[in-house]
Structure 1
Amino acid sequence: MKVAIGIDLGGTNVKGVLMREDGEILKQHYIPTKDDAEGKWRENVLEMVNFLKDFHQKPIDFIGLSAPGLANADNKCIAHLPNRLFGLENFIWEEYFGTKTLVLNDAHAALMAEAKFGIMQGYKHAILLTLGTGVGGGIMINGQLYQGLSQMAGHLGHISLNANDDELSILGMSGSLEYAIGNCSIERRSIGRFQSTHELVKAYQNNDSFATWLWLDSVRKLAIAIASLINALSPEIIVLAGGITTAGDALFKPLNEFIELFEFRPKGKTTLIKHAKFADLSGAIGAAAFVFDKV
């Protein structure tokens, strides 16, 4: 049975898994990224790969690497990621590792993890939304990851909920879903009262009136965005991932109630809304899954 290494390259940590093609994780490992202006951080990624290779003590078939940014057309490198992880853009990892390597966006990798080994198994048409500091996502059509022109499909946090809003997302979109619920905007949305979504949810659970209004307004906007995506893509299932989903019932209960108001349900058919199976290792698992799927 083939074995691959999956790497999730983040700004804080490099996460790695040694995984068989049936999804069994043989080893997992974490090391700090140590992002720097000279690009020496790439040595830490190589350290991760060598650690997992040494653990396996046999030839590794493939390596998959997920990272922020947009992959190039043949998934050999990240072609676009300005102002972060200097040296990442157009760096060919296969030459660096000496092993067949494919590279993809980190949210796309999270979708692959769920599609191959998680909640999306058995479905052909699906959407993943990652709710965290920002809002990202991925789209699966006919059982395949849809990457689109410039590999940017799935930037679902940058759909607009209010074209008249003066607040612009990092892609220049007014009234974005990312602004409506992402942790990046919570201090501005709460007029400085909350520093994180975790603080907001905790206050909501303690029946704070302002927190209740703000949180439910954010969840209502998320429901409107989800219903809009359902109208556009008609998926069988939408999976929610990311740190904000740790709110559990505080998120999913009001979300499902709002979805009932906004979702068009011909003949009573509803789109499933589920919590992702994988947490912080989803990028690494998905990177390995992508290689198994493509090579």
Structure 2
Amino acid sequence: MVTGMEKPYVVGMDIGGTNTVFGVVDSRGNVLATDSVKTQSYSKIEDYVEAVCTKLRPLIESFGGVEKIKGMGVGAPNGNYYNGTIEFAPNLPWRGVIPLAALFEEKIGVPTALTNDANAAAIGEMTYGAARGMKDFIMITLGTGVGSGIVVNGQLVYGHDGFAGELGHVIVRRENGRQCGCGRKGCLETYCSATGVARTAREFLVARPEPSLLRDIPAEEIVSKDVFDAAVRGDKLAQDIFEYTGRILGEALADFIAFSSPEAIILFGGLAKSGDYIMKPIQKAIDDNILKIYAGKTKLLISELKDADAAVLGASALGWEVRDI
């Protein structure tokens, strides 16, 4: 990574459905300063951009001004790298196609690149994390949804339109598949995201009669961390929820390995931190379903990016690659 000492910093920004977090990052991957705004507070994109810039400018000035910033990288839902646009993102307050990279370039005066949030995580992992030195890997983000970033021969796979790699929306259950927010049924995201785990918990509690610590929580309020906490305390039903989730994810990963023969699959997000409860069933399902020529060749790893910094770090890695304006 060549940065040139004359421009030793980049800006990273992660746009989430609830919060937008941004910060200044150095070439070693240290997040030096951050701030945030509430994404949903701004129904007009112009007001949102102005609110971000009002908080971002002082951060940039504290590190020597825009002359010291190589570029800005943005991770966003439905982000199109080719066009620098957010396109028809269902969980953001702005409709249609938003030329966000151009808006920030104009306001801040720093070259800006944009991609979807899972691709940003993959770039961050390759630049600062567990995928350093790897040319072929798949990043799977397990959050509210399931995202993915696919790297082949050292380059992210964007496809001809900028939207390649939506592995969270591969259909994994045809019969009675769960309704997905994308409009289809049976997507991986509906089973293996944090919200998918909570859905499984509610289904198991109805279908199975045995005692469980999860019965002490109103069904609609159960979140994936509740399932993890119960599993740690020896709750068999909670442990079975992880086994079920891990098996579905592992089956899907066995298919993904056949697609690009990656050196590693890297899991990111709170769910990936559930240890053996989730990792053992994932690995078993991969081993049980992998095509023989791929057996034992792909490592299953957990992200090395710190949760608090990962979104900003991942997006910031794009900033080193942007062209000057």
TM over 0.5: yes
The residue type paired with residue 79 of structure 1 is E
Secondary structure, counterpart of 2:321 in structure 1: helix
Q: Which of 94, 113, 121 is equivalent to 1:102?
A: 113
Question: What is the rounded CA distance, in whole Å, between the counterparts of 1:82 and 1:258 in structure 2?
Answer: 32
List runs of 5+ in structure 1 lacking aligned partners: none
Normalising to structure 1: TM-score of the pair? 0.90
Normalising to structure 2: TM-score of the pair? 0.82
Secondary structure, counterpart of 1:47 in structure 2: helix
Secondary structure, counterpart of 1:280 in structure 2: helix
Secondary structure, counterpart of 2:141 in structure 1: strand
List runs of 5+ in structure 2 lacking aligned partners: 203-218
Secondary structure, counterpart of 2:25 in structure 1: strand
Secondary structure, counterpart of 1:151 in structure 2: coil
**Structure 1 residue 235: Cα displacement:** 0.7
Q: Which of 133, 136, 153 is equivalent to 1:125?
A: 136
Query: Following superposition of structure 1 onto structure 2, how do residues 27-42 of structure 1 map, counting pairs within 5 Å?
Result: 27-36=32-41, 37-39=43-45, 40-42=47-49
Note closer, same or farther for the CA distance 1:186–1:253 as it changes in structure 2 (3 Å cut).
closer
The alignment covers a number of residue pairs equal to 293
Q: Which moved more, 1:136-145 or 1:77-86?
A: 77-86
Q: Which moved more, 1:106-115 or 1:53-62?
A: 53-62
Secondary structure, counterpart of 2:150 in structure 1: strand
Note closer, same or farther for the CA distance 1:83–1:12 as it changes in structure 2 (3 Å cut).
closer
- 1:258 alignment partner in structure 2: 285
CA RMSD of aligned residues (A): 2.3
Matched, 1:282 2:282: no
**Structure 1 residue 136: Cα displacement:** 0.6
**Structure 1 residue 288: Cα displacement:** 2.0
Question: What is the rounded CA distance, in whole Å, between the counterparts of 2:137 and 2:231 in structure 1?
Answer: 31
Secondary structure, counterpart of 1:218 in structure 2: helix
Q: Which of 251, 254, 257 is equivalent to 1:227?
A: 254
**Structure 1 residue 56: Cα displacement:** 0.6
- 2:242 alignment partner in structure 1: 215
The residue type paired with residue 45 of structure 1 is V
Q: Which moved more, 1:102-111 or 1:279-288?
A: 279-288
- 1:65 alignment partner in structure 2: 74
Percent identical among aligned pairs is 27
Pair member with larger Rg: 2
- 1:174-227 CA distances to partner (integer Å, 9 max, x unpaired)? 211111121223443222376111111222222323222222111100110111
Q: Which moved more, 1:29-38 or 1:238-247?
A: 29-38
Matched, 1:23 2:28: yes
Matched, 1:173 2:173: no
Q: Which of 50, 54, 63 is equivalent to 2:57?
A: 50
Secondary structure, counterpart of 1:140 in structure 2: strand
Contact kept, 8 Å, 2:144 with 2:194, in 1: the verdict is: yes
Moved segments of 4+, more than 6 Å: none
